[in-house]
Amino acid sequence: MQEWYVPITILPGICLLILSTSNIMIDLSREIKVLINENEGNASTLIERKLNQLKLINSAMALLYLSVVNFVLSALFSGLKENVGWNFKGDIYVLFLGILVAILALLSLMLYSFRAVKLRQDQYHKTC
């Protein structure tokens, strides 16, 4: 049975997550830049919270990249094992590690989303 294609089929979904996460990171960086340029006295705590959000989204991005590395290595190891007769049993562990890292990235993105909504609500209530 060909097992090398399983990790490769997961990659497009992870790559879409990377693309959307990088767009979120760019937008957040622009918001922070605008807040810094406005230099309002009340904006310092808001900037601090947004910088924490940026750090969280950056961590999620790094985890997504790491999961891509694990999926590619798992496919490579499986392909070598299948086609060359390489006796390496760790390909499934590399695949599971990639899945675990992807889940951690998704949890980080969920945490980011919840915090982003809370931050927007606080920002709205301060302006009203």
pLDDT digits (tens, 9 = 90+) for 87-111: 777 888 999 999 999 999 999 999 9
Which pLDDT band holds residue 128 (cuts at 50, 70, 90)? Answer: low
Residue of 2, 12, 7 whose CA lies nearest to 71:
7
Q: How confident is the model at residue 27 (pLDDT cuts 50, 70, 90)?
A: very high
The predicted-structure confidence for 28-83, as pLDDT tens digits, reads as follows: 999 999 888 887 656 788 889 999 999 999 999 999 999 999 999 998 888 888 77
* Cβ within 8 Å of residue 7, ≥6 positions away: 70, 71, 72, 74, 75, 78, 95, 98
Chain length of the chain: 128
∠ CA 80-100-52, rounded to 5° = 130
SS3 content of the chain, % helix, strand, coil (to 5): 90, 0, 10
Q: What is the pTM of this model?
A: 0.85
pLDDT reported for residue 45: 84
